[in-house]
Amino acid sequence: MTQHKPPQAMTLFDLIARTWDVKTEVRALQFNAKGTSLAAQLADGQLAFVSVQDAESPDNRVRVEADTGRSSIRPRSKPLPPPVFSEAPVARADVPLCRLGDQGFAFPHAETGALWRATARGQTLAMNAARQDAVTALAALSRSGQVAVAHGTRLALVAETGGAEVAGIKLDHSVTRIAVSGDETLLACWGAGQVSIVRAEDMTCQAQIACDGKVLCLEWSPCQHWLVAGCEDKAVLLADVTAGASDRIVDFPAPVLSAQFSGKAKAVIASGAFRVVGWSLPDLPFGDHAGAPIETGKPGLTIVDRVAVHPKRDLCAVSYGTGLVMLCRIGHPDEMLVREGTGAAVTALAWSDDGAHLAIGGEDGSLSIATFPKNMFK
């Protein structure tokens, strides 16, 4: 007797997300400033570009039943446009790319390390006016139309068009991470166990703070009082910029790949443990003070690999080594399943500025954009 099996039920992720196979592990993700394009930096040095605009967005596929008022999302009916790839492995995989102007991206070239740019449609070009020294860190200053570029111990502000140096300073240490404050007045430059606070207006060093550990990510608090960093040696680094001092929260079960502030939740959260770790602002753990810990989501048996704070709500995306992705309300046990585990770890998470899109990159070469309907968070 022939057995007829029903088709597999579609998950929420199937209905709200677009997924492409870019063949190689995704190392970094970046939406451009206009929110029209997503760039993926791949482990082999290639760049992949996909359009954020979607002719079959979830909002366009929502149906509301007239009798019950119940909403549903119909499946897609058309194939996705394929990604656009750079012609060759052009980008250094160990230095994350950053935004450039309204539409483009800046990155260091794979062979020379010099500053290059990419358009929203994937064309890559040398920035001919830029220095040819190898770039070790990048960060965008969108309001002033500049990019902060580190060449070892030299920190420079360069013009978005052409890459010509506008101002620069030589620091006492090399720089591998740059964080720009929310108002773009201050640059935090980390490297070789030190972080220098540089004023962007005149490129003067305001302070230098000893910060132990190998920093994997670096971010300013909304009030510009604190810096937080996730470290490879299983610790969170906090720097009190006003006091010129730092402290470490140690003994995490795994390297802390991401640590971020949430202005909406007034908290800092971090990965690297069996649940999302966090503390309320301004009561952070520092010195002998334990701070005010908060609990986000539910504890489990799998370590939280990465977190990404929503830009407009008190939410965060949470990923695990299994490929599972959840959406959590910061400081609350509430969780929503975004994607079931795929067996391949998530290697990059990024929100668009409007919070409508969550980009997910995997070690298996998967690249996804989950687009949340407007009425989902009402």
Average pLDDT, the chain: 94
Q: Give how far the C-alpha of residue 261 lies from the chain's centroid of Cα atoms, to the nearest Å.
A: 12
Q: Rounded to an integer, what distance in angstroms lies between the CA atom of residue 117 and that of residue 102?
A: 13
DSSP annotation of 102 reads T
Sequence length of the chain is 378
Identify the pLDDT of residue 4: 43
| Coil/strand/helix, residue 99 | strand
Handedness of CA 224, 226, 232, 234 (dihedral sign): negative
Q: Which two tokens stand for residue 375?
A: 């009425």
pTM: 0.94
| CA-wise closest residue to 41 among 116, 108, 91 | 91
Identify the pLDDT of residue 67: 67
Question: In the predicted model, what is the mean pLDDT of residues 189-197?
Answer: 97
Q: Rounded to an integer, what distance in angstroms lies between the CA atom of residue 36 and that of residue 69?
A: 32
Helix and strand element counts for the chain (H, E): 1, 34
Identify the pLDDT of residue 74: 86
Q: Rounded to an integer, what distance in angstroms lies between the CA atom of residue 160 and that of residue 184?
A: 15
User: Does 96 have pLDDT greater than 70?
Assistant: yes
Question: Which tens digits make up the pLDDT trace of 312-365?
Answer: 999 999 999 999 999 999 999 999 999 999 999 999 999 999 999 999 999 999
CA-based radius of gyration for the chain: 21
**Angle, alpha carbons 357-119-55 (nearest 5°):** 40
Q: CB–CB of 351/47 below 8 Å?
A: no
